[in-house]
Amino acid sequence: MDIGERKCSDPAFTLSVARTLVQISASLEQCAAAQLGLVERLLQFVWAHLEHHMDSVKHLAAQVLTSVVSYCVRLEKTGERSGVQQLLSAVRTLDESRKSLYVGLTALSEQLGPTRLMQEFPGVVESSLRALTSQPVQASVTNFLSLLLGRHMKTQSREVIYNSWVRPALVLATSPGADSSVLQVLDTLLTTAVQNDHTLLEYILSHIERAVDESDMKCVLMLLSVARKCGVTSEDTGDKWKGLSPKSTEPMSRAELQLLLMFLKYNSNAQAPHCRQLMLALLKKTAVTEC
């Protein structure tokens, strides 16, 4: 590490040091005695290089962090808690605008589990969802939230998931800062949640029904996308939400049939893209309805 500090302007040296530290950190598990001094030095390198301009160095620093977190959690199980506390304290000092915060949270969530992480960092889901509006950290935040949600759903009830994830996501979706990229991430997260627990769809459908303000429109459209991707409908609403299913069984209207017949008779080779796509959509609906 001293060599790396002296030669920090040389990318080749920095990369070599990072590779060496990956091997050293991986060997921590074989150490019989606690190596907290080495852990502290390794973390100094990690925090300084998690946002390095070279992607390879960033990835290697993340690997070092993963090994260090795993080692500290193992020590905690034997009664030595100082390593984990040192990690938690360091992550708490990181700013929400830094990628390193979400890389650190990801590493901690893998070893500590979602429940412990959310206890140590109250409001971490809400703050991370808000951070999605910041383009520089959006990818890191998305990775962290996807991992945390997947593990959290395995241990918690529907009500907990709704209050911890669905409700904050809906609040963000209706906010002015939620652009298309944010809505796409929220769409993916909510789809994952509903696919793991179809009963969450009841909350989504009720939110769609309650939406009356124009500002809710983008949120409603996102929720319709989620429901359609999941291909599930609420049993209590009869035919009301049948259109959410990818395979619709609704009969065609008289006007639609007349338009379809007109297309087949006069305009099956229409060159206007809009007209052609409209007719093909009706043909597809006919085929799906009959299948």
Give the domain ranges of the chain: 1-93, 251-291
CA 146 to CA 178: how far, in whole Å?
18
First to last CA, the chain: 66
Which amino acid belongs to residue 8? C
CA 163 to CA 165: how far, in whole Å?
6
How large a percentage of the chain has pLDDT more than 90?
A: 38
* Residue 209 structure tokens: 């029904």
Please write the tens of the pLDDT for every residue from 81-92: 888 999 999 999
CA 159 to CA 157: how far, in whole Å?
5
In angstroms, the Cα distances linking 213 to 204, 219, 220 are: 16, 11, 10
Q: Specify the pLDDT at position 103.
A: 94
User: What b-and-e string marks burial along 114-151, b requiring 16 or more CB atoms within 10 Å of the CB?
Assistant: beebbebbeebbbebbbbbbeeebbebbbebbeebbeb
Q: Is the pLDDT of residue 258 over 80?
A: no
Residues near 74 by Cβ (< 8 Å), separated by ≥ 6? Answer: 29
**pLDDT confidence of 257, banded at 50, 70, 90?**
confident
Query: Are 106 and 144 contacting, i.e. CB atoms less than 8 angstroms apart?
Result: yes
Query: Are 234 and 201 contacting, i.e. CB atoms less than 8 angstroms apart?
Result: yes
Q: pLDDT averaged over the chain?
A: 82
Please write the tens of the pLDDT for every residue from 96-142: 999 999 999 999 999 999 999 999 999 999 999 999 999 999 999 99
* Residue 80 structure tokens: 């030595």
Q: Where are the alpha helices (DSSP H) in 197-246?
A: 201-210, 217-230
**pLDDT confidence of 252, banded at 50, 70, 90?**
low
Q: Specify the pLDDT at position 234.
A: 47
